Structure 1
Amino acid sequence: MKRRLPIITVFTLLMAPGLSCLAGGDTTPVAKMGVLDLRKTSLFSKPVPISGEWGFYWDRLLTPDSLPSATPTYIPFPLLWSDVTLNGAKIPSQGYATYTLTILLPSKRPRLGLEVPDAYCSFALYVNGIVQAQNGQPATTEEKAKPFWVTRTVVLPANGSDTLVMVMQVANFWHNRGGPYKEILLGDKDQLILKNTATQPMTSCWPAVCSWEACFFWAYSYSDATTARSSISRYSVSFLATGW
């Protein structure tokens, strides 16, 4: 027992960082009826997903100027069109639509940016009336529309407005899937830029936890206590070098 205690202690210390990022609930606000209230949310610590109920206009490509004359329905965002039901019927995966969302910002915040992932299969995202991100060309016909897939990180203008009004046009005439399927992130522009320029980004903390477990049990199962401690040390240095 005395020989095992140091190894178990080392294992606990190695597991703690990974387990801490898995623990705790998600208290990030979600949009309701087309409004996302972030006034009590810190945008300094990490980017937040701007998901929830967005305004939705099927079969219409609207600009910010034309919104006041239109009445939306509200659907979850992101959600593929094949999973959307309007008036009791599923909508097709090919077509075009407009999404809207109003975001209420906290009074204290960093310089903001957006991480805008691809959608099926073209989009234009307006923020406060200006196109801030675009993939391809959304349009009402296949002849005028163009598909494109890429994740974009954009820096929003520095101004005193405490509100972001987002209008997103999406069109798909090519793929058997249509619409947005990944979350848009809002947060500190520097964090978002660093996240997307890292050479080896960590997309999940769970693989890290599994890697620590594998290293520990391999060393402990196939070596005596002294060799195990040495093996764990080597694997720890190797794993930390990957960016943990």
Structure 2
Amino acid sequence: MPVATYGVLDLTGWDMPRDGPIAINGQWEFSWDRLLSPEDFSPSVTPPEPSGFMTLPGVWKGHQLHGLPLPGHGQASFRLRLLPQPGEHQLALRIVAVNAAYRLWAGGKLIAESGVVGNTAEAETPLRSLVLARFESRAAPIDLVLQVSNHAFHRGGVQNAIMLGLPD
């Protein structure tokens, strides 16, 4: 089963109808204390330097950054480049238990959100939910950009695997 390495998940050899859904686990680009959107990665701008890589599923509390452990509260952005199987496909992501609010884009389009992402507890509206987000794959690389804020729970991050599969 493919696993993300250095922010890239190669699915060119994974046949969804035959092989089934896959957890998009592994190393995602990680940008601590920044809420980045797809515009921050457009070809017309210099992309921001990530803080590093973080293995998802996982929580950022205790994650080492510049030799220091991160707190449970805060905000971060994650990015993963999917290299899909050839051909056009309808795909879906199953997202559950992201602490505490998030927004997710695929190929620059907002496809899922839960709660209201914020830089402070007052600006954030936490909501833990199960979301099935659909998007199209046209055999070109697809960037997933995920904003997560957590000012409500003990540990922030993505605690369960995000599953990728066919919409059914």
TM-score under structure 1 length normalisation: 0.63
- Listed one character per residue, the Cα deviations across residues 25-66 of structure 1 (whole Å, up to 9, x for unaligned) are xxx110111000010111113100101000000000011111
Determine the structure 2 residue equivalent to 1:42: 15
Q: CA deviation at 1:96?
A: 0.2
Q: CA deviation at 1:109?
A: 6.4
Alignment RMSD, CA only? 1.4
Determine the structure 2 residue equivalent to 1:165: 143
Equivalent positions of 1:200-239 (< 5 A) are none
Q: CA deviation at 1:161?
A: 4.3
Secondary structure of 2:146's aligned partner: strand
Equivalent positions of 1:99-138 (< 5 A) are 99-108=78-87, 110-138=89-117
Task: Provide the aligned length of Structure 1 versus Structure 2.
Answer: 162
Determine the structure 2 residue equivalent to 1:63: 37
Structure with greater proportional helix content: 1
Contact 1:42–1:109 (CA<8 Å) still a contact in 2?
Answer: no
| Runs of 4 or more above 6 Å deviation | none
Determine the structure 2 residue equivalent to 1:186: 164
**1:77 aligned to which of 34, 56, 66:** 56
Contact 2:83–2:139 (CA<8 Å) still a contact in 1?
Answer: no
Q: CA deviation at 1:88?
A: 1.1
Structure with greater proportional strand content: 2
Structure 2 residue ranges without an equivalent (≥5): none
Could you tell me which amino acid in structure 1 is paired with residue 122 of structure 2? E
Determine the structure 2 residue equivalent to 1:224: none
CA distance in 1, matches of 2:88, 2:26: 22
Contact 1:43–1:109 (CA<8 Å) still a contact in 2?
Answer: no
Larger RCO (CA within 8 A; separation ≥ 6):
2
**1:91 aligned to which of 39, 62, 70:** 70
Q: CA deviation at 1:108?
A: 4.3
TM-score under structure 2 length normalisation: 0.91
Determine the structure 2 residue equivalent to 1:194: none
Could you tell me which amino acid in structure 2 is paired with residue 104 of structure 1? L
